[in-house]
Structure 1
Amino acid sequence: MGGYDPKSPSALFKRLEREHRRSAALWDAESTVGTAVVDPGGEWATALIEAKGPGWSTQTRFTTLLLDPIVLADFAKPLPVRIGKYLRALADLVLSGTAFRIFRHAWRFGCYFLFPFACLVLYALIGALAGTLAARWTNALIGLALAVLIFFGLARWLGQRWPANHLMDLWSFSRDFMRGRRPDAEAQLDRFTAHITETLRAKPCDEVLLVGHSTGALLMLDLAARCLKRDPDFARRARHVSLLTLGSTALKAGLHPAAGKFRADMQRLAADPHLEWVEIQCMTDIINFHRSEPGRLMGLTPAANKPFPLVRNIYLKEMMDRDAYKRIRRSFFRVHYQYVSGNTRRYFYDWFLVCCGPVALGNRMRMKQADLVRRPEGQAPSEHAA
C-alpha cells in the first residue's frame, strides 16, 4: 500500500518493472512483471513477477492496494472545505500535544507537518497587503474582497503547483482516520482484509509481506491487525509473515492521545510471536521518523526475544551512485520514493530483492552488507532458493 495519492495500476506496474530491471542488473538477475489484473471495483491490482538469478528463481504475486476512491473524493471537495478541515486537524494536533511530540522525535517531519500552514499564512499576508493597498485607493469593502479573492486564488494556483493542498487533505484524512471518523476508509480496509485473508487460504506461499509506504504504513499496520482479528492463524499461513514499513509516518497516530484503539491493535500484533515487523528509516528523507523506535514510543510489549519493529536505517549515498544521488537529493518527494525505487549500487536494502529475492525479509535485514555483496544472489548461507 502506497501513500495518500491516487495511483494508476498501469503506471505503477510499468514503474515497478523499470525499477526492478535496474536493480536486477546489479545482482546478475532478471525480472519479468506480468500483466496486471485489476479488481472490478478498482481497489487492488495484482501481477505475477518472475525473477531468477545465479542458482535461484522465484515467483511473486505482487498486489497493490489502491486508495484512489478515498483520495480523489477528498481532492474533489470545495477548497474552503479542505482548508477548514485542515485547520481543524492542525488545531487538534497542537492542542492534544501531538505536534510537540512530533517535533521532539522528528523535528524535520514537524516542519513538513507545518508546511501547508506556512503556505496559508503566506497567501493571507499577500492578500492582506494587496487588500490594504486597494482600500487606500478605493474603500474597505473592496479591499477586503480583493484580499479574500487573492487568498483563495493563490491557494488554488500555488496550492496545486506546490503540494500544499495535497498535504492539507492528507493531514485531515490522518486526523479523521485515527479518531475513527472515516467510515469510507474503514469499509475499504475491511474489503482489503477479506481479500488478503481469502487469497492466503486459497493460494499458499512461502512468504507473505505486508508493505506500507508513507501514510500507507499507518494503514498497513491497521490492516495487519484486521487480518489477525479476522483470521487468528494469519501469521502462520506461511513460513514467514512480515510487516515492512518504509518511510513510515505511523507515529503521527501512535503519538496521539486519541489513538488508543490503534495502539491496542499494535499491541495485538506485537504479542503474536509469529509476526515480524521491519521498519526502514532514512536520514535523507524528511518524511519519516528517522532514528525513532516506534514500538517503544507507542508503549508496546513485544513477544519474548522479538524486536518489534526491527529498525534498520538506510543511507542513500551507499545505495546509489554519486550522479544518481545528486539528481534526487534536493527533491524531498523523490527521496521519499527511493524506498520503492531501484538502487544503482549493491546494498542490504534493495526493493527488488525484498519483493522477489530468495531470502526472507527478516533474514535479509539481519545479514551483513559484506555478505550480501559477496553473494550476488543475496542468499543467506542457511537458506536455499525458493
Structure 2
Amino acid sequence: MTEQATEQTVRRRKVFYIPGYDPIHPRRYRELYRKESAAQAAISNYEIAIAPKTGGGAYGWSVAATMDDTPVAAEIEVLVWSDIVRGSMSDSIPATYLQLIRTAWTYIASGTLRRLMWMRKGPVIAALYPVGMLLLQLALAVIAGAVAAGLVLWALNALLGLFSVGIGLIATPLRWIVIAAVAITILRWFRKKDGKFFAYYLMHDYAYSARWNGANPPELEARMAEFGDLIAGAFDGGSDEVLVVGHSSGAHLAVSILSDLIRAGRVPQGANLGFLSLGQVVPMVSFLPKAWRLRADLAYLSTRDELAWVDVTAPGDGCAFALCDPVAVSGVAPANQKWPLVISAAFTQTLSAARWKELRWRFFRLHFQYLCAFDRPGDYDYFRITAGPRTLRDRFRGRQPSKSRIDVAASKHTSTAP
C-alpha cells in the first residue's frame, strides 16, 4: 500500500485497546473513557457519548461523537490479558523477594540496566523503586522485630528476676521468634497496603519480562494470536479505520501482533490501519538478551506502508521512555525506517499550570494521562484520535517528530534471532 495523498473522512472506526501489565477488570478503562471524554468535549467544544457495546466479542463500548460537524461512530474493544497478569502475580511475600533478586540480577548481569540509564533516568528510577521500597520494608520489619524482641526479653528478665530466675537457654530462640513474628506482621501490612505503595505490583511487572529474558511466555503468545484474529476480523466489518492503541507494556505486544498480521498478508490492500503507542516502555524488554522476536518485529514494522504508527510519550511521564524512538534505541533501525513518528504530549504545555501542579508528583496517574483530558490540548487529543473524523495517518501527515527525540542505538543486545 502506498502513502495515501488525500484525506478520507471517517464515519465508522474500530478501536482495539491493549492495556499494559494490569490485573484489574477492563471496566476501569470504560469508566475512564466515559469520564475523560466528557471533560475533553466540554473543553474542546465537541459532542461525545458512550453506550454499552452490542454483540459479542471482547469487552468494550460504543462511542457516538460529532466533531468538526461530522458524526462518527466508534466501537472500542479492550484486548484483555489481565488474567495472565494476575496469574503471574504471586501473593507470597517470600516469592516476591525471590523475584526481586532474580530480576535485579537479570538486568544488571546482562548489562541492560546500565544501557537503559543512558537514555532516560525516570523509568529506570521507576524500575528501581520497587527494589528499594521492598528492601526498605524488609529493613523496617526486621528492625521493628529486633526492638520488640529486646523489649520482650528485658520485660521477661525483669519479671523473672523478682523470683531470682533467669531466662537462660530460651533467650535466643525467643528473640528470633519475636523478631520473626513482628517482621512477618509488618510485611503483611505493607503487602495489604500495596495499593498505596505499588512496590509489589511494579516488582511483578518487571519480573514478568525479566523471567523470560525478553521472550514472550507461551500463554502470552497464544493470547496475542487471539488478539491478532480479532483485529484481522475487523477489516471485514466496514470500518473506515482500524486503530490499535497500545499503552505501556501493551505497546510492545501490539508491535508483535501487527507484525504478525502484516507478514501473514492479513491486512487488506487499501485498508486504513493505525497504530498509536502511548507511554511505551519498549526498551525495558527489547534491551534484554532473548528479546529476539520483539527486536525483529520492531525492525519489520518500522518499514511498512500498511500502517501509520505514531508514538506518543511525555518527559513528564516518569514511567515511560519519553521521546525514545523504540526502534532506533533498540539498535535495529533499518536504513529505510519510516515509523514511528515520535511526538510529545508535552504535559507542561498541554496541561494548565494548576493542573500540572496537581498531577506532577502523581507518577502513576501521569502514566495514564494519555487516555485523559487536557485542559490546553495540542495536536494530541486521545478522543479526537479514537472518535474523530480523521484517520491517524491523515491527522499527523506532515507532522515532524519531536526535536528532543532520542534515536541513538543504546542496547547491548541487538540480534533479531537466537
Give the TM-score normalised by structure 2.
0.79
Classify 1:150/1:53 alpha carbon distance in 2 versus 1 (closer, same or farther; 3 Å): same
Report the equivalent of 2:97: 83
2:66 matches 1:28: no
Superposed CA deviations along residues 208-260 of structure 1, whole A, max 9, x for unmatched, are: 2211111111222222223234x32427462x322211111111111112212
1:93-242 equivalent positions in 2, closer than 5 A: 93-133=107-147, 138=153, 139-159=171-191, 160=194, 161-176=196-211, 179-180=214-215, 182-200=217-235, 202-229=236-263, 231-234=264-267, 236=269, 238=271, 240-242=272-274
Contact (CA 8 Å) 2:232, 2:266: kept in 1 or not? no
Distance 1:7 1:133 in 2: 38
Post-superposition offset of 1:83: 2.7
SS at match of 2:52: coil
Higher relative contact order (CA 8 A, sep 6+): 2
Post-superposition offset of 1:189: 1.4
Distance 2:316 2:388 in 1: 26
Selected match of 2:296 from 222, 247, 264: 264
Classify 1:272/1:331 alpha carbon distance in 2 versus 1 (closer, same or farther; 3 Å): same
Post-superposition offset of 1:333: 0.9
Post-superposition offset of 1:147: 4.0
Post-superposition offset of 1:206: 2.0
Post-superposition offset of 1:86: 3.4
Gaps of 5+ in 1: 370-386
Contact (CA 8 Å) 1:9, 1:36: kept in 2 or not? no
Contact (CA 8 Å) 2:319, 2:367: kept in 1 or not? yes
2:354 matches 1:340: no
Report the equivalent of 2:360: 329
Report the equivalent of 1:360: 391
Distance 2:52 2:382 in 1: 20
The alignment's C-alpha RMSD in Å is: 2.5
Distance 1:237 1:72 in 2: 39
Post-superposition offset of 1:75: 3.3
Gaps of 5+ in 2: 1-17, 154-170, 401-418
Distance 1:277 1:368 in 2: 12
SS at match of 2:244: strand
Selected match of 2:275 from 218, 243, 248: 243
Post-superposition offset of 1:163: 0.2
Distance 2:338 2:200 in 1: 37
Contact (CA 8 Å) 1:123, 1:150: kept in 2 or not? no
Distance 1:103 1:35 in 2: 44
Contact (CA 8 Å) 2:314, 2:346: kept in 1 or not? yes
Distance 2:52 2:174 in 1: 58
**Segment of structure 1 superposing worse, 181-190 or 109-118:** 181-190
Selected match of 1:283 from 296, 315, 328: 315
Letter in 2 for 1:285: D
Distance 1:303 1:208 in 2: 28
Report the equivalent of 1:273: 305
Between Structure 1 and Structure 2, which shows a larger proportion of helix residues?
1
Classify 1:278/1:303 alpha carbon distance in 2 versus 1 (closer, same or farther; 3 Å): farther
- Structure whose CA Rg is larger: 2
Q: Aligned residues, how many?
A: 362
Post-superposition offset of 1:312: 0.3
